[in-house]
Amino acid sequence: MQLFHGNIVYSVSERELAEHTDSYIAVENGTVEGIYPVIPEKLGGAPVTDLGDGVIIPAFSDLHVHAPQYPQRGLVMDELLYDWLHKYTFPLEARFADMEFARAVYDAFIDDMILHGTMHAAVFGTIHREAAGYLISRMEEKGLYAYVGKVNMDTDSPEYLCETAEDSVRETEVFLEQYSANRTAKPVLTPRFAPTCSGELLSGLGKLGAKYGVGVQTHLVESLWEAAEAKKHFPDCSCDTEIYEKAGLLDNGPVIGAHFIFPEEEDIRILKKYNGYAVQCPDATVNVIAGIMRTAALSERGISLGLGSDIAGGANLGIYSQISRSVQLSKLKEFYEPGENRAIPFSQAFYMGTKQGGSLFGRVGSLEPGYLFNALVIDGLAGPFEKLTPGQTVERFCYLGETGHIRARFLAGKKIG
């Protein structure tokens, strides 16, 4: 048992932030036991770590990030999605056939993700099984909670990134066999998106999902171009999400749909049926996609929501910055498309980036009893002329914060980084 003294903030629900000022959080074997205004008698002998005026918050969850695109972050942001992929991103991903390059990039990516306070992530690799294996192994070694995928693509892709359906399925099965027994970093099926996958490939992946009990992550109705291309490639399907349902990919584990900006009614129905997550990637929306998720409307329909950095469509690994962007974009959505769209409060965006997004990985993303103490300590955000409440400190951090404002990072109760 150990005690941490400071100010404590976490999400109870999308409408409520819990604030505990000048309090103690008790952690037993890496899990939160309780929060107390004073040290209770039963815990009198436990060691105390005094964090002063620091605010303890849950670590963040990034539900959509491309680890191999890490070297491209903040570059060529003046292109739209199709040209951005074919001119820059696909050539970069081809370099991950070189394991020396892959190791260097993935080590830097993981270190920077931790620096930004993210300890749970759904991560795309590339088509290269060996490189994806290194990525998932390193995340497992560090105890990070992750779903990591070897990407699948066998059609309408550059020749240097195009697999055969048979090779793609075989390599994916080897990946699943190697890493399905991992404790924290788990494999996930990762067809890039429907326009780059044949029916044969998706059907083969669906069978692997059933055999190994693994879920799927992909891009869903990401852009008007992608949504139209998906239906053109699969004319027997009424919408993008139905393509994956018919392939048997939605029955076997978590379902993670990145972007989900232009869903039809049937997309929403199917994603909800399988308790799937729709992932908003605010910075990428602005940079290369040109559409805004209907965050409030989807939430009201019962869709689970998360946030993604979408490196390198987005330029910042900090999910805290995506929390503030999510609020901003919801206001734009309400202003330009009033009706079912409404602005979301800060509490809901923070909930998406912590507790709701964290639920994909289990009992992480909150500081309530029974949750893992995967946490950050933030400080240094008040000016000399003001005193901020813990909740105000958290909000300012999401709008103005930098990695230097994260004083400490804890993973299952142990200080890291």
Q: Where are the domains positioned within the chain?
A: 2-58+367-416, 60-361
Question: What is the share, in percent, of the chain residues with pLDDT greater than 70?
Answer: 100
Residue 139, strand partner residues: none
Q: Report the amino acid identity of residue 261.
A: I
Just give the CATH number of 60-361. 3.20.20.140
SS3 assignment, position 105:
helix
CA dist 11 and 374 (Å) reads 14
Contact (Cβ atoms closer than 8 angstroms) between residue 32 and residue 20: no
For the record, the structure tokens of 203 come out as: 């059907």
pLDDT digits (tens, 9 = 90+) for 175-202: 999 999 999 999 999 999 999 999 999 9
| 340, pLDDT greater than 90 | no
CA dist 67 and 371 (Å) reads 27
For the record, the structure tokens of 413 come out as: 């109760």
By mean pLDDT, which of 227-231, 259-263, 367-371, 383-387 is the weakest? Answer: 383-387
Give me the mean pLDDT over the 15-24 stretch: 97
Helix H or strand E segment including 316? none
pLDDT band for 133, please (50, 70, 90 cuts): very high
Buried b (16+ CB within 10 A) or exposed e, 37-62: eeeeeebeebeebebeebbbbbbbbb
| 289, pLDDT greater than 80 | no
CA 152 to chain centre: 19
pLDDT band for 288, please (50, 70, 90 cuts): confident
- In the CATH hierarchy, which fold is given to the domain comprising 2-58+367-416? Urease, subunit C; domain 1 (2.30.40)
* pTM of the predicted model as reported, rounded to 2 decimal places: 0.98
Q: Report the amino acid identity of residue 236.
A: D
Query: Sheet containing 60-66: which strands, arranged edge to edge?
Result: 60-66, 118-124, 145-149, 185-187
Contact (Cβ atoms closer than 8 angstroms) between residue 114 and residue 143: no
- Cα-Cα end-to-end distance for the chain: 22
